[in-house]
């Protein structure tokens, strides 16, 4: 028997309807006793079992097995699904006979009551474990906040499991094995070597180089770039663009880079970004390692050459490629001998100005240039010795000289409660004092610093540090951790610890105050970035191979040589910027306490110059992303018009309506769309002979849908993706395309002269208005994204709000949200609905909810 | 620790890339005749992604009514003695050392998409339903039984490194549910871990440190048990997972400690280009295969996996290989969907060439009465044929193991009523390296077809 998995929408309870129905269906209208046999069975027999029976379990649901309401968790899940289907009227399918409205409501209400009763009876069972290890993201942040130094410590950890649209902190999937423990150990030792320093201050090493040119110079420079200038390209050897080599540096410590710089700004521009890279040489071939150099920061140059300024950046030296490779100097033979440059760091300033036309190979002199008079690299730099992060752990105390073990116990008594995020007992302090003695003797360690590093490293591989545990009698501290890991992805700060210590965290007012305070903290950006990336599957777009012949301006590519066509390294890319755009957009809405509806449509977009150029918004300068008001003619606003989504759901050449539909249904509407069954033929093959004639994916899908086996899924999938056909593979609004059958050639410099005229060539071909109209399943006909957005806001806002709530809640709790939580979620939504589901308020009320705050070990 | 007769003498010097040639001389140096009994039995699993080109049978089963295609991944159309087409040409010289098996797959992978099925290639786990966090892989089963005999229980290589995540694995090896083993992908790192484990420190210091680590872990273990008692049932399970890693860590320390008493083979890396990166596909791939070979040759490990590409390589350099090598305009992944006629076959051929290089190296290394390939069984394949999303009927090649009971030189078809689980082959491979299992994943028995008469 063929079992064709259907998309299984879950999680669309219409909460508002639920409460209305509850009122409209008083018991007196039900003459018979509401039992399974009286209410559900006859309905199923008439409307459902033809497809959902033992033999033919469409959507993996069989309704013939039921003889009563839910009696087990597994059944409850299925019942919830049936309830959703009835409430949303997705089932029975539109082309089947429809039940009478009152019957449908009666059955739905009966299921709802049964489910509610079951959930109530099952309360004690709990919702599974939330004990889990820290995610890599949490591990990095916790180490940073615990030790006071921001070190890159997750590169060597096994990746956390990810599933698109789901948060990666689900306890069920966060497993731990030997490799984790191994690397946690390595990392702890590495970090403590940086944090616990030796008593003698190290000698700072300074490297400085000057490129100043004597002669005066006007603007524009008529001849060529000087050796102190950095153009977007066209830079030469032995200029500042090659960077400054540093031959001496310490293994650990803070470095400082100072740059005296100004900008040559052509008319119409008033700023340019200069990115400072540190690591291997990057100019020329320069890409021998996998991560040759990393960005230290980006300077915003608005000052002109007559007013140079000194800029300063700092960072930790451990976070940059530590063993720059031996490299051959260009033309590296002197007197017939190969000359090898000794190992070195290179500080390289890169002009990352990008107005979207760089692939047009404009004259670099027409673009902004940076002028760097000198650069200076110094490490380690310290404000006093030992540094503050060291004394936070190994504080000054007279005990240190008089009673080593008493001092050690004092140190542990301060460090362990922070590391374990709860009060510790004196036995626990004893235990680590034992570790101290042991390592000191066995390893023959001479100094207190050496022994304390080993001791604390042990604490950092202990389960108390690595695992989140709940229900061990520290409710206040556990709650402080839930808050801090939810909104910061890190350990609680002193204020939260203090409140927990005083037992004040359960107070709803205090919880609200804290949540608001925490959201205003810069650490909340980590939460937004982490949450949005997972919820909206934002990194998918990074891997989509863009057809550069068709979209020759999208990426900034290398123009010639054997690496021609590859992306220019060491520059911010449009893709990165798109991901940052969506993260900043979500963050901005939370900051503004915006409404859920604004996720769908907003009167602003978050842009910088490069993105604005890409989307066709004039007048945005500079590298920083910021909210920019948009007008209707920009066709921007809300998540559905953002590149991170649109590129991620394209093929790189064309939009892919199925991918876009899946994204909309999963990420926004909260449906679950099953993967395509393993045995489906590829689109091209199912279309058979007609495939050759079908030009667009939309046509292919139309043919695909005519096959019965394909139709069940695609009839409910494709319409959601069709309105997005107005946006091309790179996320730009493109309402016209070339008519079917037109041959479009890729960019060819011989034929099209330059990119500008290629653009006109494409525009000339695009004569046909894209058909972006679709009739939505169980919904109206919509035209284009504007129509779709209107429908989503007008008709589906409750579903979207529920989905956002569920995603947030699942992220906050570190577990899947199940049927058990549906009534708690309904309560959250009931509270948020009158204000239009404001996002910050929603987060605050999640923090106050019983699910989150009153939980012991559920 | 008993010293096995094939252990290399302390002063033995191996030259990286030239090691194959050096072996007979090397055998002489041990001053002993190697008896077949004493020969190590090895098992290697390697993986290629995005399927392979099969124009006359895209679902993985060749259409017997059509003439065989020059560029099909399958060397020939009909079951029986092998002949080689263009795609498989690199293996022509290894005819008696290879078998092709058509129609095999893991039922556990059927419901995973084509981009996730690589996860279960070496495990056969039912990840769609019952084993969502995967399960133990074939190399680890072998390592659990005989891993103690070598310095490293197994060697896990990849080109992209790390574990990836569920459905996006970048490793073939798993210790068990939820325990993927990160693959190593940096040649220098691999070399150092294999042959310079003490990083130039005095052995006495290394031992001292190991002893200290062990006592510290004891204390961690002790305190964890306290914690354990305070937790509820489901949380205890998570705690148990943690404790298991601590116990594993202790066992490993014990093991490393023992091996500090066994001299390290001295290997000269000068013939290897250890700083080669994934940007130079052919050099890189050869370097990885050289390291794998070297590990087997020096008996540092006997079981290895090598994921030469993951099913998610689009975001990695490896995804650009077809571009660098063949000038293909697009990501390597696109080849599997678009199947460009002029590129698909040449891409498969390039991958075949690299693998054949490895097999040739093993064959060229004399060992006992035969060569190293005779006592090494090597699986090479992918978890889907060419058709998008189809995860059935994998392309499978088995090589070597002639001295372990494998007979080669044929194409076998397991179609229709002849179909058996791929796991049957795994059972036979494990049995061949003296791991007496009767069952692996969904196996129904050993595979008899490759058994030497």
SS3 of residue B190 by DSSP? helix
Picking from A128, A135, A178 by the largest number of B CB atoms within 10 A of its own CB, the best residue to mutate is A178
Residues on chain A touching B312 (C-beta within 8 angstroms): 543
The answer to whether residues A341 and A416 belong to one domain is no
Q: Which of A450, A469, A488 is the last residue of a domain?
A: A469
The answer to whether residues A669 and A777 belong to one domain is yes
Say which of A177, A549, A680 has its CB closest to residue B179.
Answer: A177
Tell me the per-residue pLDDT of A394-449, one tens digit each, with 9 for 90 and over: 999 999 999 999 999 999 999 999 999 999 999 999 999 999 999 999 988 999 99
Q: The tokens of A457 are what?
A: 């490293």
The reply to whether residue B249 touches residue A547, judged by beta carbons under 8 angstroms, is no
Say which of A325, A685, A857 has its CB closest to residue B235.
Answer: A857
How near does any CA of chain A get to the CA of B234, in Å?
5
pLDDT band of residue A140 (cuts 50, 70, 90) is: very high
Residue A760 lies in a domain: no
Neighbours of A406 (CB within 10 A): 13
Cα B112 to its chain centre, rounded Å, is: 21
* pLDDT at residue A35 in the model: 81
The reply to whether residue B315 touches residue A542, judged by beta carbons under 8 angstroms, is yes
SS3 of residue A710 by DSSP? helix
d(CA A667, CA A166): 9
For tokens 């105050």, what's the residue? A513
The reply to whether residue B235 touches residue A471, judged by beta carbons under 8 angstroms, is yes
**CB interface of B with A, residues 406-435, below 8 Å:** none
Residues on chain A touching B391 (C-beta within 8 angstroms): 678
The answer to whether residues A691 and A835 belong to one domain is no
d(CA A789, CA A782): 9
Range of the domain at A633: 527-735+770-795
* pLDDT at residue A450 in the model: 95
SS3 of residue A324 by DSSP? coil
B13-195+266-432, CATH topology level:
Alkaline Phosphatase, subunit A (3.40.720)
What average pLDDT does the segment B353-361 reach? 96
Neighbours of A116 (CB within 10 A): 13
* pLDDT at residue A285 in the model: 41
* pLDDT at residue B68 in the model: 95
- Say what percent of chain A tops pLDDT 70: 85
Chain B: residue nearest A429 by CA?
B223
What average pLDDT does the segment A216-244 reach? 75
Inter-chain Cβ pairs, chain A and chain B, closer than 8 A: 174
In this complex, is the C-beta atom of A26 within 8 Å of any C-beta atom belonging to chain B?
Answer: no
d(CA B95, CA B78): 15
Residues in chain B: 453
How near does any CA of chain A get to the CA of B92, in Å?
33
* pLDDT at residue B82 in the model: 97
Residues on chain B touching A181 (C-beta within 8 angstroms): 245-246, 248-249
- Say what percent of chain B tops pLDDT 70: 88
Say which of B208, B223, B333 has its CB closest to residue A442.
Answer: B208
**CB interface of A with B, residues 532-571, below 8 Å:** 542-545, 547, 549, 566
Neighbours of A790 (CB within 10 A): 16
How near does any CA of chain A get to the CA of B37, in Å?
33
The reply to whether residue A463 touches residue B110, judged by beta carbons under 8 angstroms, is no
User: In degrees, to the nearest 5, what angle opens at C-alpha A197 toward C-alphas A195 and A199?
Assistant: 155
Chain B: residue nearest A549 by CA?
B329
The reply to whether residue B238 touches residue A467, judged by beta carbons under 8 angstroms, is yes
Q: Taking 60 as the threshold, does the pLDDT of residue A736 lie above it?
A: yes
Q: Taking 90 as the threshold, does the pLDDT of residue B278 lie above it?
A: no
The reply to whether residue B390 touches residue A126, judged by beta carbons under 8 angstroms, is no
In this complex, is the C-beta atom of B132 within 8 Å of any C-beta atom belonging to chain A?
Answer: yes
Residue A8 lies in a domain: no
Contact A491, A146 (CB under 8 A): yes
The reply to whether residue A678 touches residue B165, judged by beta carbons under 8 angstroms, is no
How near does any CA of chain B get to the CA of A543, in Å?
5
Tell me the per-residue pLDDT of A91-102, one tens digit each, with 9 for 90 and over: 887 778 888 888
DSSP code, position B442: T
SS3 of residue A444 by DSSP? coil
Strands B98-104 and B410-413: parallel
Query: Of A152, A249, A141, which is closest to residue A205 (Cα–Cα)?
Result: A249
The answer to whether residues A540 and A655 belong to one domain is yes
What average pLDDT does the segment A27-54 reach? 74
CATH code, domain with A351:
2.60.120
Q: The tokens of A217 are what?
A: 């110079």
Chain A: residue nearest B208 by CA?
A443
What string of H, E and C letters represents the secondary structure of A173-215?
CCCCCHHHHHHHHHHHHHHHHHHCCCCCCCCCEEEEEECCCCC
Lowest-confidence region among A142-146, A828-832, B224-228, B364-368: B224-228
* pLDDT at residue A9 in the model: 40
- How many folded domains does chain A comprise? 5
Domain map of chain B by residue range? 13-195+266-432, 198-263
d(CA A205, CA A207): 7
Q: A142-160: buried (b, 16+ CB within 10 Å) or exposed (e) per residue?
A: bbbbbbebebebbebbbbb
d(CA A474, CA A229): 60
* pLDDT at residue A693 in the model: 46
**CB interface of A with B, residues 359-418, below 8 Å:** none
Does pTM surpass 0.90?
Answer: no
d(CA A542, CA A355): 21
The answer to whether residues A270 and A320 belong to one domain is yes
Q: B167-194: buried (b, 16+ CB within 10 Å) or exposed (e) per residue?
A: bbbbbbbbbbbbbbbbbbbbbbebbebb
| Residues 6 or more apart in contact with residue A54 via CB below 8 angstroms | A62, A64, A65
Neighbours of A365 (CB within 10 A): 18
Residue A591 lies in a domain: yes
Q: Which residues pair with A166 in a beta bridge?
A: A163
Q: Taking 50 as the threshold, does the pLDDT of residue B27 lie above it?
A: no
Arithmetic mean of pLDDT over chain A: 84
Q: Which of A336, A359, A379 is the last residue of a domain?
A: A379
| Residues 6 or more apart in contact with residue A818 via CB below 8 angstroms | A73, A77, A127
Say which of B212, B277, B330 has its CB closest to residue A288.
Answer: B277
Say which of B168, B182, B277 has its CB closest to residue A289.
Answer: B277
What average pLDDT does the segment B30-57 reach? 78
In this complex, is the C-beta atom of A676 within 8 Å of any C-beta atom belonging to chain B?
Answer: yes
The answer to whether residues A253 and A354 belong to one domain is yes
Q: Taking 80 as the threshold, does the pLDDT of residue A308 lie above it?
A: yes
The answer to whether residues A678 and A553 belong to one domain is yes
The answer to whether residues A730 and A846 belong to one domain is no
pLDDT band of residue A189 (cuts 50, 70, 90) is: very high
In this complex, is the C-beta atom of B79 within 8 Å of any C-beta atom belonging to chain A?
Answer: no
Neighbours of A285 (CB within 10 A): 12
How near does any CA of chain A get to the CA of B96, in Å?
35
The answer to whether residues A544 and A596 belong to one domain is yes
Please tell me which of B11-15, B35-39, B120-124, B263-267 the model is most confident about, judged by mean pLDDT: B120-124
């Amino acid at each position: 028997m063929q079992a064709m998995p259907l998309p299984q929408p879950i999680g669309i309870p219409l909460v508002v309807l639920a409460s209305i129905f509850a009122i409209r269906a008083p018991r007196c209208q039900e003459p018979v006793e509401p039992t399974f046999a009286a209410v559900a069975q006859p309905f199923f027999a008439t409307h459902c079992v033809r497809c959902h029976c033992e033999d033919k379990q469409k959507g993996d649901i069989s309704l013939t097995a039921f003889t009563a309401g839910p009696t087990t968790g597994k059944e409850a899940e299925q019942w919830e699904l049936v309830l959703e289907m009835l409430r949303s009227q997705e089932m029975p399918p539109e082309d089947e006979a429809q039940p009478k409205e009152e019957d449908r409501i009666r059955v739905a209400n009966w299921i709802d009551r049964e489910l509610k009763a079951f959930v109530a009876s099952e309360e004690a069972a709990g919702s599974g474990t939330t004990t889990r290890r820290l995610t890599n993201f949490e591990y990095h942040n916790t180490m940073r906040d615990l030790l006071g130094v921001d070190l890159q410590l997750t590169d060597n950890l096994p990746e956390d499991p990810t599933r698109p649209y789901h948060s990666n902190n689900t306890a069920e999937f966060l497993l731990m094995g030997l490799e984790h423990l191994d690397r946690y150990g390595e990392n702890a030792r590495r970090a403590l070597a940086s944090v616990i320093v030796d008593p003698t201050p190290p000698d700072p090493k300074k490297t400085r180089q000057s490129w100043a040119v004597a002669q005066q110079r006007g603007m524009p420079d008529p001849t060529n770039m000087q050796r102190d200038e950095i153009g977007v390209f066209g830079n030469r050897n032995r200029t500042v663009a090659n960077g400054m080599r540093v031959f001496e540096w310490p293994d650990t410590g803070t470095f400082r880079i100072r740059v005296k710089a100004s900008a040559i700004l052509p008319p119409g521009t008033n700023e340019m970004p200069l990115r400072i890279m540190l690591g291997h040489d990057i100019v020329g071939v320069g890409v021998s390692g996998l991560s040759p150099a990393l960005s230290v920061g980006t300077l915003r140059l608005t000052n002109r050459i007559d007013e140079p300024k000194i800029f300063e950046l700092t960072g930790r030296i451990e976070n940059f490629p530590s063993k720059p490779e031996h490299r051959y100097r260009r033309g590296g033979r002197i007197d017939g001998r190969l000359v090898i440059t000794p190992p070195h760091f290179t500080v390289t300033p890169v002009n990352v100005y990008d107005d979207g036309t760089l692939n047009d190979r404009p004259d670099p002199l027409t673009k902004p240039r940076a002028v760097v008079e000198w650069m200076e690299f110094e490490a380690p730099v310290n404000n006093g010795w030992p540094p503050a992060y060291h004394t936070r752990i190994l504080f000054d105390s007279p005990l240190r000289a008089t009673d080593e073990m008493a001092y050690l116990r004092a140190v542990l008594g301060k460090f362990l409660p922070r590391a374990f995020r709860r009060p510790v007992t004196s036995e626990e302090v004893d235990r680590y004092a034992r570790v101290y003695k042991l390592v000191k003797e066995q390893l023959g360690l001479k100094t207190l610093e050496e022994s304390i590093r080993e001791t604390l490293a042990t604490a950092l591989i202990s389960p108390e540090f690595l695992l989140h545990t709940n229900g061990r009698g520290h409710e206040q501290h556990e709650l402080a951790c839930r808050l801090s890991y939810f909104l910061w992805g890190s350990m609680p700060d002193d204020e939260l610890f203090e409140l927990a210590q005083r037992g004040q965290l359960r107070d709803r007012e205090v919880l609200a105050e804290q949540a608001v305070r925490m959201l205003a903290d810069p650490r909340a950006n980590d939460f937004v970035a982490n949450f949005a990336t997972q919820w909206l599957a934002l990194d998918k777009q990074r891997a989509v191979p863009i057809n550069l012949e068709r979209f020759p301006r999208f990426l900034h590519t290398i123009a010639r040589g054997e690496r021609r066509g590859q992306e220019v390294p060491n520059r911010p890319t449009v893709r990165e910027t798109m991901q940052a755009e969506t993260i900043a957009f979500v963050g901005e809405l939370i900051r503004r306490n915006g409404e859920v509806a604004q996720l769908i449509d907003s009167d602003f977009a978050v842009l910088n110059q490069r993105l604005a150029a890409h989307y066709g918004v004039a007048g945005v300068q500079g590298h920083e992303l910021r909210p920019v008001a948009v007008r209707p003619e920009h066709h921007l606003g809300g998540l559905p018009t953002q590149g991170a989504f649109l590129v991620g759901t394209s093929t790189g050449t064309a939009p892919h309506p199925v991918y876009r539909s899946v994204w909309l249904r999963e990420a926004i509407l909260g449906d679950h769309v099953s993967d395509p069954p393993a045995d489906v033929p590829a689109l091209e093959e199912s279309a058979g002979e007609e495939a050759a004639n079908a030009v667009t994916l939309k046509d292919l899908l139309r043919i695909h849908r005519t096959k019965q086996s394909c139709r069940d899924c695609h009839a409910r999938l494709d319409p959601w993706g069709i309105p997005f056909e107005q946006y091309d593979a790179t996320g730009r609004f493109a309402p016209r395309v070339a008519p079917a059958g037109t041959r479009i050639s890729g960019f060819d410099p011989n034929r099209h002269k330059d990119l500008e005229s290629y653009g006109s060539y494409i525009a000339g071909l695009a004569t046909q208005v894209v058909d972006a109209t679709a009739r939505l399943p169980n919904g109206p006909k919509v035209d284009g994204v504007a129509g779709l957005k209107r429908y989503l806001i007008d008709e589906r806002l409750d579903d979207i709000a529920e989905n956002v709530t569920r995603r947030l809640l699942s992220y906050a709790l570190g577990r899947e949200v199940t049927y058990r939580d549906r009534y708690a979620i309904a309560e959250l939504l009931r509270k948020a609905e009158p204000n239009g589901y404001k996002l910050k308020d929603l987060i605050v009320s999640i923090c106050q909810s019983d699910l989150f705050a009153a939980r012991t070990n559920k | 620790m008993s010293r096995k007769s094939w252990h290399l003498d302390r002063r033995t010097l191996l030259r990286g890339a030239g090691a194959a040639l050096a072996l007979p001389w090397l055998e002489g140096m041990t001053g002993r005749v190697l008896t077949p009994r004493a020969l190590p039995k090895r098992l290697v699993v390697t993986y290629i992604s995005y399927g392979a080109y099969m124009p006359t049978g895209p679902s993985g089963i060749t259409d017997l009514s059509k003439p065989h295609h020059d560029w099909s991944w399958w060397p020939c159309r009909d079951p029986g003695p092998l002949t080689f087409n263009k795609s498989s040409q690199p293996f022509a010289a290894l005819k008696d050392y290879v078998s092709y098996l058509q129609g095999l797959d893991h039922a556990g992978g059927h419901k995973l998409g084509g981009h996730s099925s690589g996860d279960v290639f070496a495990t056969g786990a039912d990840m769609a339903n019952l084993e969502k966090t995967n399960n133990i892989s074939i190399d680890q089963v072998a390592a659990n039984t005989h891993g103690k005999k070598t310095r490293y229980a197994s060697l896990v290589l990849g080109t992209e490194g790390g574990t990836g995540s569920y459905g996006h694995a970048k490793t073939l090896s798993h210790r068990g549910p939820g325990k993927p083993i990160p693959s190593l992908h940096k040649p220098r790192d691999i070399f150092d871990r294999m042959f310079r484990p003490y990083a130039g420190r005095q052995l006495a210091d290394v031992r001292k440190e190991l002893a200290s680590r062990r006592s510290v872990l004891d204390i961690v273990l002790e305190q964890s048990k306290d914690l354990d008692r305070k937790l509820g049932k489901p949380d205890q399970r998570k705690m148990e997972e943690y404790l298991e890693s601590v116990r594993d860590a202790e066992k490993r320390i014990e093991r490393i400690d023992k091996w500090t008493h066994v001299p390290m083979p001295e290997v000269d890396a000068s013939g290897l280009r250890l700083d080669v990166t994934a940007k130079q596909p052919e050099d890189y791939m050869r370097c990885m295969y050289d390291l794998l070979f070297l590990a087997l040759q020096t008996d540092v490990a006997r079981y290895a996996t090598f994921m030469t590409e993951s099913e998610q390589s689009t975001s990695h350099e490896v995804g650009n290989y077809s571009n660098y090598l063949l000038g293909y305009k697009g990501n390597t992944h696109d080849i599997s969907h678009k199947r460009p006629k002029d590129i698909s076959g040449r891409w498969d051929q390039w991958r075949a060439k690299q693998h054949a290089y490895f097999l040739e190296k093993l064959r060229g290394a004399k060992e006992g009465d035969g060569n190293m390939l005779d006592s090494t069984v090597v699986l090479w394949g992918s978890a889907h044929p060419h058709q998008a999303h189809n995860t059935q009927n994998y392309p499978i090649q088995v090589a070597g193991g002639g001295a372990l009971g494998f007979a080669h030189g044929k194409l076998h078809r397991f179609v229709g009523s002849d179909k058996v689980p791929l796991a049957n082959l795994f059972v036979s491979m494990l049995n061949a390296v003296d791991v007496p299992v009767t069952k692996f994943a969904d196996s129904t028995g050993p595979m008899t077809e490759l058994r030497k008469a």
